[in-house]
Structure 1
Amino acid sequence: MNYQNDLAFARQQDEQDPLKDFRSRFLIPKHNGEDVVYLCGNSLGLQPASAQQYLADQLDTWKNLAVEGWFQGDDPWLDYHKSIAGSIARIVGAQENEVAVMNSLTVNLHLLMVSFYKPDNKRFKIIMEGGAFPSDQYAMESQVKFHGLDPKDAIIEIFPREGEVTLRTEDIIQTIDQHKNELALVLFGGINYYTGQFFDLKAITDAAHAAGAYAGFDLAHAAGNVPVQLHNWGADFACWCSYKYMNSGPGGISGIFVHEKHFTGKELNRFAGWWGYRRDKQFLMAPGFDPEIGAAGWQVSTSPILLLALFKASMAIFDDADGLDTLREKSVRLTGYLEFLIREINQEQGEEVYRIITPADPATRGCQLSVVCKRNARGIFNYLAQNGVIGDWREPDVIRLSPVPLYNTFEDVYKTAGLIADALKAV
């Protein structure tokens, strides 16, 4: 696409945007009476304008029906979680029975590792990305220790080559092959939270399976952001949060994927609860756990209806946007425009004042750009915030900016770039 550093160009792109009307379906915070430029969907998505009504509907059901709300009303609570499963399945490239909406991200990661990390004397190692989000690191460490192993021996972190910021797929594959005789699990993020790199999940899955190991993914920064095909790629399991790109609210409910090939696997351990019991006999209250077929059989606790209602409000918007294809097409153009404008600033400065560490290839990133500021980084971040641009700060000198296609505009991006340029003089 031939970008132009011009407000008229940005406005023309917004006018031609097939998703332009979706912005009005979100509540945008204000700064000095004007909409902020919100580029922090990688941390917390905006509130759908319909969220309050979805929540109020379930509060009314609770008020009017009390416990009978589980079985009566327009959306009986007993199967309320199922009403979101189809939307989620389309977003993560799964069959509907391969996903379940439940718990929070790291809780789900632990529950899935009960099933898919089963170390023995021969196979006990886990391969993961170096610099993964701390929750993943802590989860791996605690799981390894739970099995009586030393994390220094059992966990292999893959870091970029010296002088590089992102990982090469060939290095990931080579490391998997190098440890294939001792490998139990490969656990990667879909997108690295710090650099914004989108990993080749199919290649990682294929390599893990060739090594005789399971492949699982934390899709916290990928679900709702980039297209994934968990079923077709053959991933064994995955989990994600929903409060970033899927706008379910702070601490919103999470979800899991378990490939159908594992539905009848008697060799898999799991921590069981009544909510995961087979639905047709659930109320017989019989002893002995007999799981529901599908990812639902990994559920443990009763669905939190109010959290599900908030999530359902956002899923309705995704459904109306007709999947991720149109969103992805705009995301590539929108993020590309931000990249173009930042490179224009560097060109005007005669040096790389702002270094983008996110991969340049759109196929290996989502909508996030991580930008290293070489001059007064914190001051520049504060200047953006003082002028109505909400991004995300990461020590020591990185600003993460994420133009989300559902509610961000080309004019948002143009305004942000102007402020990034102005900040060099102002701070």
Structure 2
Amino acid sequence: MSKFNKHILGCLAIICSLFFSLNTNAQSKNDLEAKKKLLQKEISLTNKLLNETRKNKELSLDELLKLKSKINARAGLISALNAELRMYNNEIKKNTDEIAFLQNDLSKLKEEYAKMIYYAYVHKGSFEKIMFVFASNSFNQAYKRLKYIQQYSTYRKSQAKNIVKTQESLKQKITELDQAKQEKGAIISLEEQEKQKLAVEQVEREGAVKQLQGKEQELKQELAKKQAAAQKLQKAIQKIIEDEIRKAREAAKKAGNTSKGFPMTPEALKLSNSFAANKGKLPWPVMEGVITDRFGQHPHPVLTGIVINNNGIDISTTKGAIARAIFDGEVSSVAIIPGEGKVVMIRHGEYLSVYSYMTEVFVKKGDKVSTKQHLGVLVNESGASKTDVHLEIWKGMTKLNPEYWIFRK
């Protein structure tokens, strides 16, 4: 293989490598930027909610939960900044390696070109070229020598172009390296600021926990009320699900269908499949908010040795917020549960979504609702500056984690 072909293959390999790495880096940068913006937005909203809560002047568990949510978001932001720093370190190393390669390649190209110029200078006369052709032993050899002279001239021109292109690539890589170093510096500065804020918030949380521990009896009473309300809600949901399954089976039996599970009409099955296909893409039950109590069992944030269980998630939002449907469906029930406020349950084929803590409801049983349709006004606890929505998702009699179903805002 000629030096020219080898050089071309080498350049192609570099271009492919650059294209792949640039494409990957662009995706990584975009993903990290999007994640950072989401977390910064969440921190900003939590600060807004905390300011509302602190108007009450008396420390509450709700304030601690919001503070904890902000700390988690801040930690996530620092983690994203760390990932971005690693990406910039890799980019700097890659650019440094490519600059070294291009400098070496440029040196070789210049060296080869210098030799060609010297050779052309030594054999500069056209007479020597003609004699070189006519000195051939045969016509075939003369033809080959003529082609060689033409190829040599073309190669000289291509080498000159390659030198210019390599110089341009080198200049671009040096610019990219400088830019990456500047951006890395900015990220380091931002990360340090976020770490300082996190340290302050952690101290604030520890102080809040100690202060609330002095209200142990009050917190236990509040927890007992919440658990009693959650049990009433769960019984109401289970009764509705059982009634709907019984009615669906009776209707299916009349139609000659004796299948087990949750019998569905073709329309209900289509809706159920559509709901399942949108897992992770469903909208939030409020326009904006932060999750302050997550699904499943977890330790109480203040009371030592006490484990709380949440059948859904609690989202803290702004005063006067409206609850909205997360998907198309039909209202199965509108109920009043002491401690949960007014509750709306919406059937989506085999799935059921439940929305609690409303003071006013806009829908009634049997209504067809669409995605993001307003369901009701959320309760604003007087004196606590607290507005939450409680969301549950069920499949048959199985409770699901709503966080896996709604998209990350």
Higher relative contact order (CA 8 A, sep 6+): 1
TM class, shorter-length:
under 0.3
More helix, by proportion: 2
- Over alpha carbons, which structure has the higher Rg? 2
TM-score, normalised to structure 1, is 0.22
TM-score, normalised to structure 2, is 0.22
